[in-house]
Structure 1
Amino acid sequence: MRLVREHRDPLVLSDRLRDAHAVTPGLMSEIVAAACRHFPSMGQSEKTARIERLIASEAWTDAALALIDLELPLWQLRRIAYDEGEWYCALSRERELPDWLDRSIEVRHADLALAMLGAFVEAQRIAAPSSRPSVPAVSRDANPLREPVCCDNFG
């Protein structure tokens, strides 16, 4: 099953995942099209073929784990928990840090695969290279009553 590659807004995709009740082949195709930069991967054709087999067999949780492995090699699954009818999935770059120091991404959903895919999409959105200039821009709406002051002690 070859998936068509398109560019879509990741925020719209996050909303679709939050509103979905179950993963479908169409939704998985949208996720791959919008959030996957390495799929299909020429250098890792075995991983790509495995993901395609998992999607074809509708093994959504395993497909989500395989996408995280392929697309976000620096991110790791930190926690999966079930509480009061919802699955909580957390992805982290620093899994060994205590919770209060770690800046993990946590998504919750009634469906485990959708919680994992939601965390994947959020991590992809955060990890995506931004097109920022190398020099920060100065705000144009600066307050004219404020003036820069030199605070160095030259004495």
Structure 2
Amino acid sequence: MTVALRHDDPTSLSMRLRHAQTMTRPLMLDIMRTCRRFPSLGQSEHTARVERLIDAQAWTDAALALMEFELPLWQVRRIAYDEGEWHCALSHERELPDWLDAAVEAHHADLALALLTAFVEVRALAAEAALPSVPSFRQTLDPFYEPAACENFGR
């Protein structure tokens, strides 16, 4: 598998986030490269803001800003610290009770990595939901094919 394919693979990126000890600039840039809505660097005020946060190594703020732009319908439902790990939950319907909500949860010792792990998992779920349930194929017609009327109009 090539390096380019590995960076775009949500499973590979999720595993890299889980196994990382701390957030790094190259890891954050790899995550940003997989984003569809995020414009190329230097094109908008929002991009410049995220770039400034990355330069300042404000990883949690950069993760929250990236999630706000890339996943506008998802919100942080819960952030909790328990027994040395940060637990994050992203929700599409934050106002629903916990037992009704299908929140995506992630955990990590680093808050930014916990947020970004949940972010990558939400994007993977969205990509799976966008796939059709029935595989489609392109029918190739025989070059000698000619439609014929086969109706019987007689009694």
> Under a length normalisation based on structure 2, what TM-score does the superposition of the two structures give?
0.77
Aligned-pair distance for 1:117? Answer: 0.6
Q: 1: distance between equivalents of 2:33 and 2:50?
A: 14
1 or 2, which has the higher helix percentage? 2
CA RMSD of aligned residues (A): 2.0
Aligned-pair distance for 1:131? Answer: 3.4
Q: Which consecutive unaligned segments of at least 5 residues does structure 1 have?
A: 138-155
Aligned-pair distance for 1:48? Answer: 1.2
**Aligned pairs (5 A) from 1:64-79:** 64-79=63-78
* Larger Rg, first or second structure (1 or 2): 2
Q: What letter matches 2:33 in structure 1?
A: A
Aligned-pair distance for 1:41? Answer: 6.2
Q: 2: distance between equivalents of 1:56 and 1:121?
A: 22
Q: What letter matches 1:131 in structure 2?
A: L
Q: Following superposition, which runs of at least 4 residues in structure 1 exceed 6 angstroms of deviation? A: none
Q: Identity of paired residues, percent?
A: 63
Deviations, residues 104-130 of structure 1 (Å, cap 9, x unaligned)? 000000001100010111111112363
Q: Does 1:101 align with 2:100?
A: yes
Q: Secondary structure at the match of 1:48?
A: helix
Name the counterpart of 2:21: 21
Aligned-pair distance for 1:82? Answer: 0.4
Q: 1: distance between equivalents of 2:131 and 2:123?
A: 15
Q: Which consecutive unaligned segments of at least 5 residues does structure 2 have?
A: 136-155
Q: Does 1:117 align with 2:113?
A: no
Q: Does 1:61 align with 2:60?
A: yes
Number of aligned pairs?
Answer: 129
> Under a length normalisation based on structure 1, what TM-score does the superposition of the two structures give?
0.77
Q: 2: distance between equivalents of 1:48 and 1:69?
A: 12
